[in-house]
Amino acid sequence: MAEDTIIDYKRLEIRHKDYADEEISTLLGKTVLGTEGGLRYSVRNITERMKFYGKDLSFIALYKKNNLAGAIGLCSRKTTSCGKEYNSTFLRYLSVRSSFQITKVADHRREKLAHAEDSFKQQIFSMFSNPSGLPGGKGAPSLPQIVYACVEGENERSKNFVRQAGYEHIRSLRTVAFSRFKPELNPSVTKLSPEEEPAMAKLLADHYRDYCFYNDQFSFLNHRYYVMRKNNKIVAGVCALPTAFRIIDFPGMQGWMLLKVLPYLPFFKRLFQPGEFRFLIFDSIFYSEGNDHLLADLFEAVCAEEGYYSAITWVDDKSGLFRSLKTKVRMGVLNKILTTSPGFVYASFSNISPEEQKKFHEFPVYMSGVDFA
């Protein structure tokens, strides 16, 4: 396990760690996600979930007076965009302690300290603005590199960070929910065998050939990929990963209904429990041409197999998949109740021509649910 100091500036340090040590794990475990005034939650068992990334996850850690003040995860991976492979880094687990803010200092020191920290922040922005200069990346700095992140539409702090680092908004995502009060099994739906995964990987790669940032890093995680077959041919498929959020706050009428009313109503209490939301992450969704309407039956059968009543996925809002889920698939009551603001995908490019960058604005992006939950 390695640790390097990248920036050392007047008792402020940036260190790169190729692992999540106890301090970082504790910080992320206590981090409340979401936006002030909106849904606020934390992820259960975050330490175990970080293991999904293996050696591809490292951290930029911020220290103030040798105390951990914040961390950003760097998820290094190969992605394919419209048929071309790129070395890519997805920014994950942004967490900053409130103690990093300067409070209760004398007036004659405030200006001096603010200037020092502003200078330090500029060094941070400079580091993140150059994808080829980020630690933990794959390949030589001279090769094409991409760093990308997804930020909630109402999270102004995170949006300001990526903007100041020079990232550009390229696409938007929507959270899509599926639910059934009494999901039923379907004999046409079975779990894919490990021996069949390479062939399924080819089907997925072809299905997402016109997407950006596609990767199958989590498609067959824990061998939890389910398929629907017709005449012995795979016509639809999805990876299903169990997870749970601890709900911290959800203001407004919608939040009041979700947290205070629905958990105590017949049937609805299957979808919601007080303070907790258990669901499946639907990842690597596949359907053959003309069979998108079968996704409802597939999703329901997978929920029944896994013992869950609801599932969540994140989809580019201009993609064919989003249109199909919106118009051809009966997604259930949860999708009508759980309305969220869009997520914005930001990216920074290195050694990629402006002409080549256009496709990232024009074609939908693929985002794995593991990167959100």
pLDDT tens-digit profile of 300-324?
A: 999 999 999 999 999 999 999 999 9
Residues 122 and 88 in one domain: yes
Most confident of 1-5, 15-19, 36-40, 363-367: 363-367
pLDDT for the residue numbered 112: 43
Residues 167 and 183 in one domain: no
pLDDT for the residue numbered 1: 64
Write the Ramachandran bin of 195: left for phi over 0, alpha for psi from -120 to 50, otherwise beta: alpha
Q: Is residue 199 packed enough to be buried (19+ CB in 10 Å), middle (13-18) or exposed (0-12)?
A: exposed
Q: What is the pLDDT of residues 6-18, one digit of tens each?
A: 788 777 888 899 8
Structure tokens at 30: 């206590």
Residues 39 and 96 in one domain: yes
Q: What is the pLDDT of residues 67-78, one digit of tens each?
A: 888 888 999 999
The distance from CA 255 to its chain's CA centroid, rounded to whole angstroms, is 22
* Average confidence score pLDDT of the chain: 85
With a pLDDT cut of 90, the percent of the chain lying above it is 52
SS3 labels along 42-68: EECCHHHHHHHHHHHEEEEEEEECCEE
Asked whether residue 182 is domain-assigned, the answer is yes
Residues 70 and 195 in one domain: no
Residues 139 and 38 in one domain: yes
pLDDT for the residue numbered 192: 97
pLDDT at 251 over 80: no
Residues 183 and 267 in one domain: yes
Q: What is the pLDDT of residues 180-208, one digit of tens each?
A: 999 999 999 999 999 999 999 999 999 99
Q: Please tell me the distance from the alpha carbon of residue 225 to that of residue 39, in angstroms, as a whole number.
A: 30
Mean of the pLDDT values across residues 234-258? 82
SS3 state of residue 197: helix
Residues 321 and 194 in one domain: yes
Asked whether residue 366 is domain-assigned, the answer is no
161-175, 262-276, 298-312: which has the minimum mean pLDDT? 262-276
* 157: confidence class by pLDDT, cuts 50, 70, 90: confident
Q: Report DSSP letters for 85-124, one per residue.
A: EEEEEEEEEEEE-GGGS--S--HHHHHHHHHHHHHHHHHH
Asked whether residue 348 is domain-assigned, the answer is no
Q: Please tell me the distance from the alpha carbon of residue 2 to that of residue 92, in angstroms, as a whole number.
A: 20
How many H-runs (helices) and E-runs (strands) does the chain carry?
11, 15
Mean of the pLDDT values across residues 348-362? 95
Q: Please tell me the distance from the alpha carbon of residue 235 to that of residue 173, in angstroms, as a whole number.
A: 25
110-124, 219-233, 267-281: which has the minimum mean pLDDT? 110-124
Query: What is the torsion angle, in degrees rounded to the nearest 10, for the CA atoms of residue 363, residue 366, residue 371 and residue 373?
Result: 110
Residues 189 and 256 in one domain: yes
pLDDT at 228 over 90: yes
CA atoms within 13 A on the CB side of 166: 15
Closest CA to 287 of 368, 206, 185: 206
Asked whether residue 212 is domain-assigned, the answer is yes
Q: Which domain holds residue 232?
A: 175-343
Q: Which residues in 301-327 are b (16+ Cβ under 10 Å) and which e? A: bbbbbbebbbbbbbbbeebebbebbee
pLDDT at 22 over 60: yes
Final residue before a domain boundary, out of 146, 173, 200: 173
The beta strand positions in 187-275, using DSSP E, are 189-191, 225-230, 233-249
Residues 325 and 215 in one domain: yes
Asked whether 297 and 333 are in contact (CB, 8 A), the reply is no
* 101: confidence class by pLDDT, cuts 50, 70, 90: very low
Asked whether residue 360 is domain-assigned, the answer is no
Residues 208 and 298 in one domain: yes
* 96: confidence class by pLDDT, cuts 50, 70, 90: low
pLDDT for the residue numbered 218: 96
DSSP annotation of 206 reads H
pLDDT at 132 over 80: no
CATH number at residue 239: 3.40.630.30
pLDDT at 235 over 80: yes
SS3 state of residue 75: strand
pLDDT at 40 over 70: no
Final residue before a domain boundary, out of 173, 190, 209: 173
CA atoms within 13 A on the CB side of 320: 15
Q: How many domains does the chain have?
A: 2
Residues 134 and 50 in one domain: yes
Q: Which residues in 89-113 are b (16+ Cβ under 10 Å) and which e? A: bbbbbbbbbeeeeeeeeeeeeeeee
127-136, 170-179, 327-336: which has the minimum mean pLDDT? 127-136
82-86, 132-136, 288-292: which has the minimum mean pLDDT? 132-136
DSSP annotation of 353 reads -
* 139: confidence class by pLDDT, cuts 50, 70, 90: low
pTM, two decimals, is 0.86
Asked whether 1 and 19 are in contact (CB, 8 A), the reply is yes
Mean of the pLDDT values across residues 54-70? 89
Closest CA to 364 of 207, 193, 189, 187: 207
